[in-house]
Amino acid sequence: MVFSKEVKSVRTQTWIGIMSVASLVAIAGIFLKVAMSTQPREENYENITKPGYAIRRKYFWALLIVSVVCLVISVISFPYPAIMEAKITGEPVVVKATGFQFGWELDKDVLPVGKPVRFDVTAKDVNHGFGIYYHGKDGSLKKGIFVAQTQAMPDYINKLYVTFKDPGVYRIWCLEYCGAAHHIMTYEFRVE
Ligand SMILES: [Cu+2]
């Protein structure tokens, strides 16, 4: 028998098709057999979960103890009690303080010692930081001691209450970078 090229090609394709279907059926059969023979595993999960939960419980208590210890330590070093002790007694002396690029305007240069002072702080142009530092009795203390601070903001008046304990020279320093000459933005007043 002599077949043409086309007939040979069709035969080959048919064979490939039959072989493919046959292997698919065989694979499906294997899957089916495995699926049929599989049964739910009977295992004692308690053996695993019990020690697992025990470890979890230990971790929980350890974490809780560590958290409480950390909380107590951090609360002790909080500055809140000192702030809460501060009380305003009597009418405060009101000082209007305005920040601008690059300086401060205050309507008073001499403030009382031991009496409450209220700074009404605002700004003319941009945000500034209003920081008060103590520079010693005669102003010779170069590195000032921080006293109090608030923000100086345009269109807002932030009220800062301070009772000066020490007479001497105090300086205001801008605590927020506000431009090229920010570092010279300072003002001096006296407390007597
Ligand atoms: Cu500034």
Q: Does the domain formed by 89-191 have CATH 2.60.40.420?
A: yes
What is the 129 CA–ligand 1 centroid distance (Å)? 6
Residue type for position 124: K
Give the residue extent of every domain in the chain: 1-38, 42-85, 89-191
pLDDT tens string 12-66 = 888 999 999 999 999 999 999 999 988 877 778 888 888 999 999 999 999 999 9
Going by pLDDT thresholds of 50, 70 and 90, the confidence category of residue 6 is low
Q: How far is the CA of 175 from the centre of ligand 1 (A)?
A: 6
CA–centroid distance, residue 109 to ligand 1 (Å): 20
pLDDT in tens, 180-192: 899 999 999 999 9
CA 98–ligand 1 middle distance (angstroms): 12
